[in-house]
Structure 1
Amino acid sequence: MSTSPKIGYLIPEFPGQTHIFFWREIEALERMGISVSLFSTRRPPAGLISHKWSEDAIARTEYLGVIDAKAAAKTALSVSPTIYAKDILSEGKQLAKDLAVTTGAAQLLKQSCTRQGISHVHVHSCGRAALVAVMAYLMGGPSYSVTLHGDIDGYGAGQRLKWRHAKFATVVSEQLNGQLDQVLGPDRPSRVFVQPMGVDLNALRRDRPYQPYPPGEALRLFSCGRLNIAKGHQDLIDSVKLLRDKGIDARLTIAGEDDQGGGGFRKVLEEKITELELDNAVTLLGAVSAEDVRQQLNDAHLFVLATHQEAIGVAYMEAMACEVPTTGTRVGGVPELIHHGVDGVLVEPHAPNDLAAAIQLVANSPQDAMRYGKSARSRIEERFDCRKGAELIARESLDLTISKEI
């Protein structure tokens, strides 16, 4: 009797509010007949656990973040320090500290993979979770691969070590791929693929035809993203104020929570909303389910995200899949997703006046709004289906036929 092929899947603080794209990929892998064992460093704060599937995900995830000092010390001695001595000498105390706090988790990962017959783990991070996989591998555990989801310099020390031993790697945009040679040099793996995260096209579609904004009525704007200064929500709120000062009844709803579960940057935004007298015009939903996001997208006239930095932007993809005219910022890999004037509109970041003008232009151009929505759906179908990432991970993890590399 044959058994399903198995892979491990390691995600930091899973399942968080932005992790729907990981879950989609896991489901796609399982539909392919692959058994996926979930690992994570630790649970996210309670206020960020928002999806209907979150409890199921927690129940089947093995958390590795409990530090056992004795186990960590024993584990550290099982790996010759000469393997990473040069890395520590070049990067200093931070890498040494990170290695020390991950060795216990690495031992747990190795033991669990041995017990389950898992020969490969894919790590959706290049932070400390990647070091867990590195150390497990150096102890004789499974091979591993990594995905880079943002600027590589934001993922901590030891990047050369993390990438050097990886079986393969993926990056979510061409812009990020361009960073690798400078940072990694000869430690760049021979197999690196540009593969964005994607969306479930069956789940994300309109439940009714899109209706453009009718002038004189409320202009419904929707945004979705963590409440973090880098997401630019403060600029979007300023744009709403500018639109309302022009007599446009702009109403903004933002889905997402800060990393403290409501006790952090949310308070800054709440103060700004009150200061600008927008309490009746801007709503902060907090962390909500994927179903709630889909409902908001179906209700919206426009989707707007004024982010200051973005690898590529799954929130944009969700809006585009639902044929909602989308306005974004020209940062990171976003221009690889949204072709300005074709699939949506792009403005420079940190520019509330330009953003307000773009919103007004699209809202007052119903034919363009509908054209952007239709083109956006086609763009997502062509390039950003979540099955593509699952197929790549399955193929490369299980040593099947390798597609064209970059």
Structure 2
Amino acid sequence: MLKQIFLILFLVPIAQFAFAEEIPDYDKPYAPIFFNKPVYSWTEKVEITIIAPSWNTGMNLIDSIGGDPNYSVDVYTKDHRLEEYKLYETDPTSGIFTGEIILTGFLHDVDGDGVNDTNPRTLGGGPNGGYLQNDEDSGITVSFEFADGVILSESAKIEWNEGDLRITDVTEKFAKIKLFERDMNLNPESIDTVNIEVFSEDDSAGINLEISETTEDSGIFEGIISFTKDDQSSGSRLYALPDSQITAKYVDRTLPKPYNTNDELDVLAQEKIISNLPSTERLSLSESEILSQDGKLIEELDIGKTGMIFSKIRNTLDYTQEFTYIVQIKNENNNVISLSWVTGQVIPSQELGMSVSWTVQETGKYTVDRFVWNSIKGAIPLTETVSTEILIK
């Protein structure tokens, strides 16, 4: 018997999946606004972020907000405004919208040459390339019309800062000049420069050094100076000897309150050039001799006679050195009865004879201390102190 087999096909509909955006809750709007910094200087770049997932319309489309006059994004300072500034989504599904503007400050002479160094202007439609002028003691605000009559906003401060100047990495040959000064980041899309005065105890006139921003938007400026011991200061080269104090000076004309726009402040940094050679080995000092007033060597001094305490100073280094030769004479009670000094300059490999006079008043045992310093004021020893006893009969 032939059996018939019936195949019954059941058609089951396949579920349809669709992606739809939630309708914004106008009673509880969610679109927080963020700045990349809490406080800006007057000519910095401002990065703006608005998290608005309700405005993400699809998976394959980079959306924007702000270009519609009905739901605008406005960026403004006290007296200047960018309206309907457009921000773009970071990727098709993020719901995060970003853009940036550059603050352009106000007319001001930052280097004291009598010419304004800023170009205040307000223009641009976003998301980049916008410029916004701001005034002294201003702030920046971003507002977003999330829905009809629902406006969200966020603000950040704009203020000047006091510069921070430093001298770092000091050796006998080089030093780095470093300035932290956000206010001199006048163009955040190019490398700015600043002029710094640098001088030493050996050259009070010094040099004018141009230092450059480390990156386009860092507000950190660096430059290198070299030290010379046998040449004049020029360019980025400064005449300075070991143990000399070097000073860098920046004139800050963008000062925070309570200063005003007409004020300026000298910002200083100081460091010493430390040599690897001990200071007491910079010169050599011979044994002392006693000379008569006519320059002849004598064995001893007589009461009431004037003699000369004579020594030779030799420069063993490759640069000229200033020095002060000091002779101190003490009696048996350790009281100083005579103190004399002579200043001079000795060139490389030169040997100089130095003498100071002493008139003996009474017999006794005396101690003669000889010092060689860089100067009376500096008091840096260039040789070891040498003491000698003299017996006056």
Q: TM-score, normalising length from structure 2?
A: 0.24
Structure number with greater CO (CA < 8 Å, separation at least 6) is: 1
Return the structure number with greater strand share. 2
Whose helix fraction is larger, Structure 1's or Structure 2's? Answer: 1
Which protein has the larger Cα radius of gyration, Structure 1 or Structure 2? 2
User: TM-score, normalised on structure 1?
Assistant: 0.24
